[in-house]
Structure 1
Amino acid sequence: MVATSMAQIPTNLTFHKLTTQYLPFISINTAYIFNDTRASQQLANAVDNPVTIFLSLNTPFQQYDATPPTSGAAGQIEAASVTSAALNSDLFQYLQLDGLHRSTSFNGTSFMRTRFNDTQYEHVSGGQNIEVFRNETAFYVGTGIGFKSNDLEFAGGILHIVDHPMAPPYSLGNTGTVLGINAIAGIIQASVKGPGPSVLPNIQNASDVTVFAPQNSALKNASIASPQVAGNFVVSGSVLYSTALTAGTSFLTAEKRKLFVTTNASGAIFVNGSRIVESDILTANGVVHVIER
């Protein structure tokens, strides 16, 4: 239904005309946008400040809209909290990228900076990012959210329609809880014990944090609840997405331990010999990579 009528849509319409006249299947999203002063002005002024925006179909948005908010500030935004105009406004900033980004501009894994930079909820310098992945067989944004129709042009902008609502990442603690990554709780616990001999920051509240979290099976006979141990799994002050983890690079942890990055022929990434088994889990203040040990 979405794809059949796309070719007939003019490309010089304002965002308001495009969505109200031709795209009734995203009308719930756009109704919220038109009620939000900041977002509606940004889209109305797109000719002067070009924008790319991601919006979902009505049905999944309605289901998502009914989801109770998760505890914690980032979790409240993540659940689309329609009871708060301020949180809704921030949510629409997360759906926007500066500039025009057609589907052909995405290749492999890309991390794109959004317009969401409210430091009350997010702590990534310059604004929170989204992940976009595209190859010969797959095209998705975030955690596997697929594209239903892409590259819809309006005056000053590009609209991509996706099959599920997008939302900012959880806080670090909520990420560990929701995804069942036990090491994150231990690292957070260690980071709030006070500076002592450790330089590990309070990573729940810090900005620009990368965590290399051992997978659950690696923790059976080990503990990372001390600052000295936990600090070896944290890079503070840098958000290191997988695109930055190239062979031959190295980084210092909070405990001044050097992490060396290597790769193999199949593209797997290793940090000090430990393979990354799940990469690029975005959080409100950075990114988590799950490692073997």
Structure 2
Amino acid sequence: MIHLALFATLAFPVLSQNLTAAISNQQNLTQFSNLTSSAANFTTILNNQGQNATLFVPINSAYTYQNNSGMVSVNVTSPFLNQSISNALNLTNLLSYHLIPGQSLQLNVSNSSSQMLFHTPESRNQSVEIFYTALNDTQAVMLPGNNSQVLIVHNHNDTNPYIKFGPYKEANVLQGGNATNGVWYSLDSVLVPPRNLSFTLLQANLTMMYSILKASNMSNQLENTPGVTLFAPIDSAFPSNFNASNMTMANSFIQNYTVISNKTAYYSPLFLNNSIPQNEATMAGQNLSYTSQNWSNITVNGSQIVNSDILTMNGVVQMIDKFFNNNMNSTALPPIQAPAGASFWKQVFG
């Protein structure tokens, strides 16, 4: 059964080194170690974590190259664009997105190199949890309450855990170890911080939704307002005669498929845990009615989420398979429930 829970404990040997020293001794993590030495701000953040932090470290093969000036070219495959981290601020942001402060996650790591490139719905037997990272630069993240950017971690029952980032990319957790100020886990991909909504829609091949956003006069609002959740139908859901360039129609469509919350964007674990506030509605006033049998079977107003948790700078895109059922009667949603020990819920809902 898929549920939200604290991840199972995996015992690592207790070491006398901090995270910086621990990863520097790992032969396949030298690229990340070199990057941290070039980012004094991140090193300070990392060394001030006390005894509880989780650091995700891409293995060397996850990078293309690093030059003497500190520029790193991240190997980001299609449909992502290659990106260069060319200054200290961007480098600090990139590294900070790999750090979960205040929590030492205990993931079910088998230390096996056998991983799936992308997990199909049939393979999704796992716990799903939201964690705040150390990425809090206001030029890179705009979430409600000035919260830092999130990672959504999937703790898999059959293979190693993974982190989904972007529409079609997953970073598999390979190995792990302890340090005096937390735990570290190696990844087979670099975690690229989320971008703005327009860029993300193009990444996800949601070209109709992108065209609608640009045809509306609401693009600036949705790009710069914290807590935006956009339910985006796949391109094939649109009829051939749909006029995506009509501003009036575009505005109406955006309003019917967007929720703006001053507490949080609506990530899939919130649906799974029945934590969407009662009577939550879209910008057009349409109440959300949802079912969530498991992580691979979440429906909202009659539409199934087929690609969940596509993160943006200021929220999330939930890709759905068809238009909402506008005739669906609104139903009372269950009250907010916060699982014990889950800091995301405590911070968001109190």
TM-score class, shorter-chain normalisation, is 0.7 to 0.9
Matched, 1:15 2:15: no
Select 1:66's aligned residue among 70, 73, 84: 73
Taking structure 1 as reference, are residues 216 and 59 closer, same or farther at Cα in structure 2, changes over 3 Å only?
Answer: same
Taking structure 1 as reference, are residues 23 and 263 closer, same or farther at Cα in structure 2, changes over 3 Å only?
Answer: closer
Instruction: Report SS of the residue matched to 1:164.
Output: coil
Distance 1:274 1:167 in 2: 29
Whether the aligned pair in 1 keeps the contact of 2:54 and 2:99 (CA below 8 Å) is yes
Question: Structure 1, residues 174-229: CA drift from partner, whole Å, max 9, x if none?
Answer: 111122112331342255x26xxxxx972122211100001101113334552122
Greater percentage in helix: 1
In structure 2, the residue matched to 1:256 is 285
Whether the aligned pair in 2 keeps the contact of 1:122 and 1:284 (CA below 8 Å) is yes
Instruction: Report SS of the residue matched to 2:200.
Output: helix
Question: Structure 1, residues 66-112: CA drift from partner, whole Å, max 9, x if none?
Answer: 3599xxxxx99x8351x21111011111111012112159x611111
In structure 1, the residue matched to 2:271 is 245
Q: Aligned-pair distance for 1:13?
A: 1.0
Matched, 1:149 2:175: yes
In structure 1, the residue matched to 2:197 is 172
Distance 2:18 2:74 in 1: 32
Which one-letter code corresponds to 1:234 in the other structure? T
Which one-letter code corresponds to 1:239 in the other structure? A
Taking structure 1 as reference, are residues 8 and 204 closer, same or farther at Cα in structure 2, changes over 3 Å only?
Answer: closer
Question: Structure 1, residues 228-262: CA drift from partner, whole Å, max 9, x if none?
Answer: 22200000124001112246965211111112112
Distance 1:110 1:171 in 2: 23
Matched, 1:222 2:242: yes
In structure 2, the residue matched to 1:57 is 59
Select 1:208's aligned residue among 227, 240, 249: 227
Stretch of structure 1 that moved more, 265-274 or 89-98: 265-274
Which one-letter code corresponds to 1:88 in the other structure? L
Distance 1:60 1:93 in 2: 17
Q: Over the residues paired in the alignment, what is the CA RMSD in angstroms?
A: 2.9
In structure 1, the residue matched to 2:209 is 184
In structure 1, the residue matched to 2:39 is 36
Q: Which runs of 5+ in 2 are unaligned?
A: 1-10, 67-71, 110-125, 323-350
Whether the aligned pair in 2 keeps the contact of 1:80 and 1:88 (CA below 8 Å) is no
Matched, 1:130 2:160: no
Instruction: Report SS of the residue matched to 2:316.
Output: strand
In structure 1, the residue matched to 2:5 is none
Whether the aligned pair in 2 keeps the contact of 1:277 and 1:290 (CA below 8 Å) is yes
Q: Aligned-pair distance for 1:8?
A: 10
Distance 1:121 1:166 in 2: 14
1:73-84 maps to which residues of 2 (within 5 A)?
79-81=83-85, 83-84=86-87
Taking structure 1 as reference, are residues 190 and 244 closer, same or farther at Cα in structure 2, changes over 3 Å only?
Answer: farther
Q: Show structure 1 runs of 4+ deviating over 6 A.
A: none
Select 2:100's aligned residue among 81, 97, 100: 97
Select 1:86's aligned residue among 81, 89, 107: 89
Q: Which runs of 5+ in 1 are unaligned?
A: 1-6, 70-74, 195-199
Distance 1:147 1:228 in 2: 42
Distance 1:263 1:43 in 2: 37
Taking structure 1 as reference, are residues 264 and 132 closer, same or farther at Cα in structure 2, changes over 3 Å only?
Answer: closer
Distance 2:170 2:237 in 1: 27
Taking structure 1 as reference, are residues 266 and 226 closer, same or farther at Cα in structure 2, changes over 3 Å only?
Answer: closer
